[in-house]
Chain A
Amino acid sequence: QSVLTQPPSVSGAPGQRVTISCTGSSSNIGAGYDVHWYQQLPGTAPKLLIYGNSNRPSGVPDRFSGSKSGTSASLAITGLQAEDEADYYCQSYDSSLSGLAVFGGGTQLTVL
Chain B
Amino acid sequence: QVQLVESGGGLVKPGGSLRLSCAASGFTFSDYYMSWIRQAPGKGLEWVSYISSSGSTIYYADSVKGRFTISRDNAKNSLYLQMNSLRAEDTAVYYCARHSKYGSGSYYFDYWGQGTLVTVSS
Given the complex of chains A and B, what is the CA–CA distance between A38 and B109 in angstroms?
Answer: 9
B31 close to A (CB within 8 Å): no
For B110, what are the chain A residues with a Cβ–Cβ distance below 8 Å?
Answer: 48, 51, 57
Rounded to whole Å, the gap between the CB of B52 and the closest CB of chain A is 11
Counting chain B residues whose Cβ lies within 8 A of the other chain, the interface size class is 20 to 34
* Residue of B with least CB distance to A46: B112
Within 8 A of A (CB), among B9-55: 35, 37, 44-47, 50
Given A99-B61, A104-B44, residue A51 in contact with residue B112 (CB < 8 A)? no
A109 to chain B, nearest CB (A): 14
Total chain A interface residues with beta-carbon distance under 8 A: 27
Interface residues of A in 57-107 (CB under 8 A from B): 57, 89, 91-93, 98-106
Taking a contact as CB atoms closer than 8 A, the residue among B35, B37, B108 that contacts A51 in the complex is B108
CB <8 Å contact, B44 and A89: yes
Given contacts A99-B59, A103-B46, contact A52 B102 (CB under 8 A): yes
